[in-house]
Amino acid sequence: MTKQGIGTRCVQAGYTPENGGPRQIPIIQSTTFKYDTSEDMGRLFDLEESGYFYSRLQNPTCDHVAAKIAAMEGGTAGMLTSSGQAANLFAIFNICEAGDHIVASSSIYGGTYNLIKVTMAKMGIESTFVSPDASEEELDAAFRPNTKAMFGESIANPALTVLDIEAFAAAAHRHGVPLIVDNTFPTPVNLRPIEWGADIVTHSTTKYMDGHGAAVGGAIVDSGNFDWMAHREKFPGLTSPDASYHGIIYAQKFGQGGAFITKATSQLMRDLGCVQSPQSAFYLNLGLESLHVRMPRHVENGLAVAQFLEEHPLVAKVNYPHLPSSPYYQRAKKYMPDGGCGVVSFELSGGRKMAEAFMKKLKLAAIETHVADARTCCLNPATSTHRQMSDEELIQAGVPAGLVRMSCGLEDKEDLIADLEQALAQCGLQGTL
């Protein structure tokens, strides 16, 4: 069968009702599941049969939604997690342990940077950060014999750099490790990293996938393309017997397409418990059903706002990969011909003072620590998320004091531009220049 279009997968994949069954994915709001005999349940505990026994490990509602996301990304298996942070933690920790090392793009979400740089270091996992624009030689130089994974974001939050997925995948594969790509910003509607060589894809479903600011969540998808058995010595967790499951070998028992997610579920979810609730998974699915309809509008609004800002005399710089003036334009066109996302960042010419005044004047765009929502929101990192940093430190971190991040929602672009126009006009009048 030829693969269905991405829109059809958004709407239909992951759940087919039985004759007379509920049309909508049922919310199985149950922590536990009942069996007639202990032997029946024992087979599940031994991973001899698949089924449900406790919602910390698996729940039917979450599994349907995970299967949909896996289908959307073109993977072989998927799982939901309690948040995007948990998705990246699990994706990395499933193949790395104390004494191992990972190579990551330096242009990634702040939470993920801290996770890798600080928290993973405390767990004994070392890291090397590379520029998303590193040359082949620079990428190769970052690998060590104990490197177990490479990590990057397809469009980075908030830097809006675009990852050269083919180059990163080639480097990872030259060194016998998988490439993990956080695909939160473009979503599989605009970019499917597996088609470009990524092995594992992660998401903060809190963003566009949910799209309505309703539920925090995450997801992991395995491409099924990485041959763990060909690199047995690097990945003993997948290729040697698991003492906690009577010595099964994941890559043998569940195959190349099932091993990664089965191990992450049966070990990491069992032991760490970062589970998504069935209720949240239900909300997430409602978002997924319209994702292919919403993303083009986010893209249309993002581009219109970026173009407007680029022409405005009070705006010093605009970051949006699909603007022809962006250094990432060629890469953005290659990987995302239909556009990337609705997030734009821009620097006001009057620095911190102007940014502060500007934010106060916005009427439609709300001040929020959030992105990728149906409603447009804005953030000035210098006066909020990064307020402990000096102007000098902010420049070094790539978030100058006058930088504003705007996540364009689903409103009419004319109204978004009018809001920006009036706020900028008032800043100009007040002589904050």
Ligand X SMILES: *Cc1c(COP(=O)(O)O)cnc(C)c1O
Would you give the DSSP letter of residue 266? I
Please identify the residue of the shown chain whose CB is closest to the bound ligand X. Answer: 84
List 58, 76, 85, 107, residue binding ligand X (CB under 6 A): 85
Nearer of residues 215 and 410 to ligand X, judged by Cβ: 215
Q: What track of x and - describes contact with ligand X for positions 110 through 139 (by CB under 6 A)? A: -xx---------------------------
Nearer of residues 70 and 372 to ligand X, judged by Cβ: 372
Query: Which segment (82-90, 136-144, 192-200, 266-274) binds ligand X by CB under 6 A?
Result: 82-90
AA identity, residue 99:
G
- Note whether 216 binds ligand X by CB under 6 A: yes
Smallest separation, CB 366 to ligand X (Å):
17
Smallest separation, CB 327 to ligand X (Å):
20
Smallest separation, CB 112 to ligand X (Å):
5
CA 94/CA 255 separation, integer angstroms: 16
Q: Residue 314 half-sphere exposure, CB side, CA atoms within 13 Å?
A: 24
Smallest separation, CB 204 to ligand X (Å):
3
Contact 32, 58 (CB under 8 A): no
Nearer of residues 157 and 432 to ligand X, judged by Cβ: 157
List 60, 74, 75, 84, residue binding ligand X (CB under 6 A): 84
DSSP 272-320: H--PPPHHHHHHHHHHHHTHHHHHHHHHHHHHHHHHHHHH-TTEEEEE-
3-state helix, strand, coil in the chain (%, to 5): 45, 15, 40
Number of shown-chain residues binding ligand X (CB under 6 A): 15
Smallest separation, CB 368 to ligand X (Å):
13
What's the angle, vertex CA 343, arms to CA 338 and CA 345, rounded to 5?
125
DSSP 8-59: HHHHHTT--PPTT--SSPP----SB---SSHHHHHHHHTTSS---SBTTT--
Smallest separation, CB 115 to ligand X (Å):
9
Nearer of residues 101 and 207 to ligand X, judged by Cβ: 207
Query: Which segment (83-91, 164-172, 244-252, 343-351) binds ligand X by CB under 6 A?
Result: 83-91
Smallest separation, CB 152 to ligand X (Å):
10
φ/ψ of 335, rounded to 5, equals -85, -25
Nearer of residues 61 and 105 to ligand X, judged by Cβ: 105
- Note whether 342 binds ligand X by CB under 6 A: no
DSSP 113-125: HHIIIIIHHHTT-
- Note whether 157 binds ligand X by CB under 6 A: yes
* Number of neighbouring beta carbons within 10 Å of residue 129: 17
- Note whether 162 binds ligand X by CB under 6 A: no
Three-state DSSP class for residue 157:
coil
What is the binding site for ligand X (CB under 6 A)?
A: 83-85, 109, 111-112, 153, 157, 182, 184, 204, 206-207, 216, 218
